[in-house]
Structure 1
Amino acid sequence: MVHKVGVLSDTHLPRFKRLPEALWEHFADVEQIIHAGDLSVLSVLSELETIAPVVAVQGNVEYDEVVEALPIKREIQVGFCRIGIVHILGDSKYYARNALVEFPRARVVVFGHSHVPYNKEQDGLLLFNPGSATDRRRQPTCSIGMLYIDDEALSVRGEIIPLAS
């Protein structure tokens, strides 16, 4: 079985008025959604839950309601794959080291914060940042991500999906 998991981060609502419309199209057939923090308000989760079940962590720019409701980090299992989720993973040169310290048994670590998409395998660990769904900052476009977890092949692949400007 191949599991399809939608991934997003740094939505910063209500500063940005709404989630991008393209999200519903891209995430239409996912079995789960991961939000890697900086949602800012909890209503983002209920909106995403109209698509699929959501797992989220708090970021560093959150209203109190988010801080009170969500953990700083968490680990989930999708098929054979253990996925660690945290908002801030530190400096890019230390991503792999920090990921292994935080999630020593994970196959994938999903993170956000930088607004810079990142999709790299290092020593059997996939490090995955979808970028920001609403705030491109210095990137050419906003972006979201997709994880494809294949239980039969025991493989996982990440895809960064640029959104139209």
Structure 2
Amino acid sequence: MQHRIGVISDTHCPRFPRVPEAVWKHFAGVELIIHAGDLSTLSVISDLETIAPVVAVQGNVEQEEVVMTLPIKKEIRVGGMRIGIVHILGDARSYARTARQEFPEARVVIFGHSHNPYNQEHAGQLLFNPGSANDRRRQPACSIGQLLIDDEAQAVKGELILLP
């Protein structure tokens, strides 16, 4: 079976009025959306749930309702893949070590915080940061991502999507 998962992070609503409209186009048909933190408000989840079910973790810039509702980290399974989700993975030089410590059995670790897209394999573990959907900071564009999981081949691929 093939799975297509939308991945988003650092929406920072209501500092930014809403999740960009382009997200609805790019996430149309996904079976799940993973939000890697810094939603800031829970309304982001209900907005995204109009597309697909949402799994989210809290970030470091959240309203109290988010902190009281969402975990700091979470591990889920999609098909045969274990996916770890956390907002902060630490310094880029130690991503691989930190990911392995936090999620030793995960095939994929999704994170956010830096607003810098990241899509690299490290010793059989895909580390994936979709960047920020609303706040590009030092990047040329805002971005989101998707995971493509193939159960039969036991393979996963991350794709970064630049937003207009």
TM-score tier, shorter chain, comes to: over 0.9
Query: Secondary structure at 2:23's aligned position in 1?
Result: helix
**Equivalent residues in 2 for 1:1-165 (5 A)?**
1-164=1-164
Displacement of 1:12 in angstroms is 0.2
> How far 1:135 sits from its partner (Å)?
0.2
Question: Number of aligned pairs?
Answer: 164
Deviation of the 1:111 alpha carbon: 0.1
Q: Deviations over 1:90-139 (max 9, x none)?
A: 00010010001000000000000000000001110000000000000000
CA-based RMSD of the aligned residues comes to: 0.3
Deviations 1:8-50 (CA, angstroms, capped at 9, x unpaired)? 0000000001111110000001000000000000000000000
Counterpart AA for 1:38: D
Residue identity matched to 1:126: L
3-state SS in 2 of match to 1:12? coil
CA distance in 1 between counterparts of 2:18 and 2:64 reads: 20
Letter in 2 for 1:130: P
The DSSP-based 3-state class of the residue aligned with 1:67 is helix
SS in 1 for 2:74: strand
The two structures have a TM-score, normalised by structure 1, of: 0.99
Residue 145 of structure 1: how far off its partner (Å): 0.3
Runs of 4+ in 1 over 6 A off after TM superposition: none
TM-score (norm 2): 1.00
Q: Secondary structure at the match of 1:11?
A: coil
Which residues of structure 1 form unaligned runs of 5+? none
1:86, CA displacement in angstroms? 0.1
Structure 2: runs of 5+ lacking an equivalent: none
How far residue 54 of structure 1 moved from its aligned partner, in angstroms, is 0.2
